[in-house]
Structure 1
Amino acid sequence: MTRLFGSVRARATLGASLVVALALVAAGAAVLLSLRTNLTGQADGRADSAAREVASQLATGRAYDDLDLPDGEDAPVQVVDEDGKLVAASEDLERISGTGTDAVKPGAAAAKPSGGEEEGEDDSEGGDGTASAENSDAAEAAERGEIDGDAEYTGGSATVDGESADYRFAAVEVSTEDKGDLTVYAGGSLSDEQSAVSTALTSMLIGFPLLLGVVAGVTWLVTRRALRPVAAITAEMSAITASEDLARRVPEPDTHDEIARLARTTNETLTALETSVERQRRFVADASHELRSPIASLRTQLEVGAAHPELLDVDGAVEDTVRLQRLAADLLLLARLDAGEKPGEARVDLAAFVREELSQRTRDRVDVHTDLTSVEIAGSRGQLARVLGNLLNNAQRHAVSRVTVTTRADGAWAVLEVSDDGSGVPPGERERIFERFVRLDDARTRDEGGAGLGLAIARDVAARHGGTLGVGEAPSGGALFELRLPVPQTSAD
């Protein structure tokens, strides 16, 4: 189970199904509520209409026994007087609840005469037809009443002729002169509402699971199709890992979605990794080659000295040892830079720094001229000293008679320039000379020109300090190396 729901496809399917299920439940509840409210309103309307029809008859003075009541099954009716006694009810009404009284049969005392006694009294008082007509009109006017415009609604049930059902009852009040205040209760059947709601609920209970099944199936298939490139990428990455062949690439889909960007990013990462590994391989090979020469020379001298002490070249052995020491130091620094060693944050005055470093150089072949302007930088003093030393050594090897060191500020940058009056660097070679173990064809011999690591180290150190190192042409025609380092921001008081 854990493995199943660990799949993106399974989680997407489950999530989509849950969202649709919640939406369907909310929509179904809203539909049922709206349907029930609408049909209940219709039942209220039917109940109100039936109650007002009976109330109109009572308002005109009609006797209880002469009321024309609706069919009991359609609209059970009760008429209750102001004392709460039942005075009229639908025929065949056997049980009722939700109205003003549970009584279903009006009492004998509640029944009122139909007006015969009043008519007899009228006949004795008048002998002509005109008087009788006037008395009749007066009696009818006296019996007319008022019907309340507002009705109250309640829910209940009733049994009519053995059939029980739920109803909505409307209570309408009517005031009469001869009968007093009466309340008419009339019911509107809820059978249509119950039938419609039951049908809708049954349809939902059947349809919703089917719809959820369709949604889950479609989501599963669509997600499977969408994730198919991911499976291909995963398989290819597994093959690359097993074969250790970094030249292989994962397939890139023709889409423009996140998976395509993932594939492109993966291939870019593989390209960078392949370049890095190849660079390390070349570095190891070149380092081995560079180390082999002085080690072999030193061993030869020591073996000759061991066999013939008088032939031992002590000075040559010392030079080879120094060369080995410098090469080992360069390789160690490159390894630290490749490992991401961060420079320090020490503040250094560039002009004073250059003067101090130049004062320690005693074996320069040509004179070094300076044009120094104070500007502050931040970084590792030891690494910056290595940069300056490598640039000066390179200039000394190629200069004819002059090397110039200049410092200045250029906006947010501190600039250090080292130039010579030698033959310069051809434009096509100005980037290649910063590669590791690279020496130009017209460079000095291996002993004089070094291992080809100085400029590579200088550029790496510059990059670690957030700066740049480039080469151009000096005014004298030689090479001009320009080191740019950011000026540290001063914190506001």
Structure 2
Amino acid sequence: MRSVRARAALGATLVVAVALAAAGLAVLLVLRANLTDRAGLEAEVAAREVAGELALGAAYAELDLGDEETRPVQVTDEDGRVVAVSKDLEAISGTGTAQVVPVPPAASPAPGDDDGDDGDDRERDDDHGSGPARGEVSSDAPDFANGTATVDGATADFRFASVELTTDEDVTLTVHAGAPLAAEQEAVDTVRTSMLTGLPLMLLVVAGVTWLVTRRALRPVEGIRRELAAITASEDLGRRVPEPDSRDEIARLARTTNETLAVLEASVGRQRRFVADASHELRSPIASLRTQLEVGAAHPGLLDVPGAVADTVRLQVLAADLLLLARLDAGERPGRAVVDLGALVREEVSQRTADRIPPEVSVEDGAPLEVTGSRSQLARVAGNLLDNAERHADRAVAVSVRAERGDVLVEVTDDGAGVPEAQRERIFERFVRLDEARGRDEGGAGLGLAIARDVAARHGGTLTVDAAPGGGARFTLRLPAPSGAGPRRTAADS
């Protein structure tokens, strides 16, 4: 089932069906229990009436057994023999014995039947001044059971109550009286039929309402899907999906989709500009190198070997920068080597003997200046910052490395013109050069600071620029120090 609406309607219908079935079963059980208890109470009242007569000494033949058509009664002695039954009782079950024919009086003397011994006993009791003995009906709760009885050819279900008593002859008898269960069965059948008839109709209503409500709720989703399909077909990332006015999950989905489309549009735009800028940057050295080689091929004496080498080096550096940016964009994770930034900066400065302005280095002593990451990439960051400072400085370039609040800071300052506050974020964009008057050989391709910030971000740090205290620009590289004392791996990584 591929439709969300169909699954929602089916799920809601099943839940309601289970709930209604459980509720209906509970109602039927409670109704049956209440009606059965009511029948049991009626049976108990009838049984105690007969038991009271027997306790008062009534003979079996003189018992008032009530409406024998609806109240079947059976009296048994302590040996389980039937001593009295209601009129026209032909069969019975649920009372402990199925006998419906009383035993002869001689086999089971009925209370009230006198013999000589009893007379003597009563006379002796009278001689002692005692009143006539009376039987006693048990005050314990009666036993209940369901059974059937056939009275005058009609068989029905009954609820039987069994009450014990002791006669004045010290004979224990049990009176089994029944109350019909026809009313209980009729009521339960009526309720069951009503439920079985109404349940399908109610389930149809639930399914239909759920289908309509779900269709209306999912209508914005279908609009989002259609718009996304149109965007995919047209490749126009400037389009946006419709956002409903509601504040529910679908509205949040539409807003998130539009935000994703905006980010994707910006990313694709940056990628296109990057490809265009890279092509433009590569075109100049390639064209220059080709021209020099063609001139050299036609006139070997005019070949500018140093210029060709410089263009080749520039191509090599640009290719390396583009490759590093591609790896960073692909989400390449930096290495996990422990790098001493103080030693790394000193090493990078020591290799720059041919710089126009030799940097001054200041490294804080006594504090751990180690970070975790890729040594080659961090060296590239330091080199790019030093290149940028040397390119824009008038007379001085300074580098300091120090620890601060669990981080390691590398600050590179120059005494040049500085960076205008409005341009301090733009200089970190790719292929951006604020001084367009500079030649490409002097100003570079505009990738150094972009690479430096990307590498810093990949290492969990930041790279910012502000005004130096003495004028010029100050670039601050902040990297987190290692949080734990894990295995130290200091080998150079690529």
Q: TM-score, normalised by structure 2?
A: 0.90
Which residue of structure 1 aligns with residue 418 of structure 2? 424
1:259 aligns with 2:255: no
Which residue of structure 2 aligns with residue 76 of structure 1? 72
Which residue of structure 1 aligns with residue 433 of structure 2? 439
Which residue of structure 1 aligns with residue 139 of structure 2? 149
Match of 1:50 among 40, 46, 49: 46
Which amino acid is the alignment partner of residue 33 of structure 1?
L
Q: Deviations over 1:255-301 (max 9, x none)?
A: 22222222112111111111111101001111111111111122222
1:214 aligns with 2:208: no
Conserved 8 A contact 1:63-1:112: no
1:484 aligns with 2:478: yes
Pick closer, same or farther for the CA change 1:332–1:117 going to 2, 3 Å.
closer
Which amino acid is the alignment partner of residue 200 of structure 2?
P
Q: Take 1:85 and 1:372, find their aligned partners in 2: how far apart are those partners?
A: 115
Which amino acid is the alignment partner of residue 457 of structure 2?
A
Which residue of structure 1 aligns with residue 491 of structure 2? none
Which residue of structure 2 aligns with residue 29 of structure 1? 25
Conserved 8 A contact 1:157-1:166: yes
Which residue of structure 2 aligns with residue 201 of structure 1? 192
Q: Deviations over 1:404-460 (max 9, x none)?
A: 111111111111111111111111111111111111136522221111111111111
Structure 1 residue 217 displacement after superposition: 1.7
Conserved 8 A contact 2:54-2:111: no
Conserved 8 A contact 1:156-1:168: yes
Which residue of structure 2 aligns with residue 247 of structure 1? 238
Conserved 8 A contact 1:397-1:444: no
Structure 1 residue 107 displacement after superposition: 4.6
Conserved 8 A contact 2:40-2:159: yes
Q: Take 2:400 and 2:103, find their aligned partners in 1: how far apart are those partners?
A: 126
1:13 aligns with 2:4: no
Conserved 8 A contact 1:367-1:401: no
Tell me whether 462-471 or 80-89 shows the greater mean CA deviation.
80-89
Q: Take 1:408 and 1:35, find their aligned partners in 2: how far apart are those partners?
A: 85
Conserved 8 A contact 2:384-2:452: yes
Conserved 8 A contact 1:233-1:263: yes
Q: Take 1:118 and 1:301, find their aligned partners in 2: how far apart are those partners?
A: 153
Structure 1 residue 171 displacement after superposition: 1.6
1:106 aligns with 2:97: no
Pick closer, same or farther for the CA change 1:90–1:431 going to 2, 3 Å.
same
Structure 1 residue 65 displacement after superposition: 2.0
Query: What is the DSSP-based 3-state SS (H/G/I as helix, E as strand, rest coil) of the residue aligned with 1:62?
Result: coil
Structure 1 residue 336 displacement after superposition: 1.2
Which residue of structure 2 aligns with residue 280 of structure 1? 271
Which residue of structure 2 aligns with residue 128 of structure 1? none
Conserved 8 A contact 1:98-1:157: yes
Show structure 1 runs of 5+ residues with no match: 123-133
Structure 1 residue 212 displacement after superposition: 1.6
Structure 1 residue 38 displacement after superposition: 0.9
Which amino acid is the alignment partner of residue 25 of structure 1?
A
Structure 1 residue 142 displacement after superposition: 3.2
Which residue of structure 2 aligns with residue 337 of structure 1? 328
Structure 1 residue 25 displacement after superposition: 1.8
Pick closer, same or farther for the CA change 1:195–1:306 going to 2, 3 Å.
same
Structure 1 residue 487 displacement after superposition: 0.8
Which residue of structure 2 aligns with residue 298 of structure 1? 289
Q: Take 2:444 and 2:51, find their aligned partners in 1: how far apart are those partners?
A: 121
Pick closer, same or farther for the CA change 1:31–1:309 going to 2, 3 Å.
same
Pick closer, same or farther for the CA change 1:115–1:197 going to 2, 3 Å.
closer
Query: What is the DSSP-based 3-state SS (H/G/I as helix, E as strand, rest coil) of the residue aligned with 1:109?
Result: coil
Q: Deviations over 1:43-77 (max 9, x none)?
A: 11111111111111122222222222111122111
Structure 1 residue 350 displacement after superposition: 1.4
Query: What is the DSSP-based 3-state SS (H/G/I as helix, E as strand, rest coil) of the residue aligned with 2:359?
Result: strand
Which residue of structure 1 aligns with residue 35 of structure 2? 39
Query: What is the DSSP-based 3-state SS (H/G/I as helix, E as strand, rest coil) of the residue aligned with 2:99?
Result: coil
Which residue of structure 1 aligns with residue 149 of structure 2? 158
Show structure 2 runs of 5+ residues with no match: 120-124, 488-494
> How many equivalent residue pairs?
476
Pick closer, same or farther for the CA change 1:425–1:101 going to 2, 3 Å.
closer
Which residue of structure 2 aligns with residue 125 of structure 1? none
Which residue of structure 2 aligns with residue 467 of structure 1? 461
Q: Deviations over 1:68-97 (max 9, x none)?
A: 211112211122234433332212222222
Q: Take 1:472 and 1:179, find their aligned partners in 2: how far apart are those partners?
A: 116
Q: Which has the higher helix share?
A: 1
Conserved 8 A contact 2:111-2:169: no
Pick closer, same or farther for the CA change 1:486–1:112 going to 2, 3 Å.
closer
Which residue of structure 2 aligns with residue 60 of structure 1? 56
Which amino acid is the alignment partner of residue 102 of structure 2?
P
Query: What is the DSSP-based 3-state SS (H/G/I as helix, E as strand, rest coil) of the residue aligned with 1:367?
Result: coil
1:380 aligns with 2:370: no
Query: What is the DSSP-based 3-state SS (H/G/I as helix, E as strand, rest coil) of the residue aligned with 1:78?
Result: strand
Pick closer, same or farther for the CA change 1:456–1:381 going to 2, 3 Å.
same
Which amino acid is the alignment partner of residue 58 of structure 1?
L
Q: Deviations over 1:25-44 (max 9, x none)?
A: 22122111111111111111
Which residue of structure 1 aligns with residue 388 of structure 2? 394
Q: Take 1:76 and 1:476, find their aligned partners in 2: how far apart are those partners?
A: 118
Which residue of structure 1 aligns with residue 490 of structure 2? none
Query: What is the DSSP-based 3-state SS (H/G/I as helix, E as strand, rest coil) of the residue aligned with 2:19?
Result: helix
Q: Take 1:100 and 1:322, find their aligned partners in 2: how far apart are those partners?
A: 113
Structure 1 residue 340 displacement after superposition: 1.2
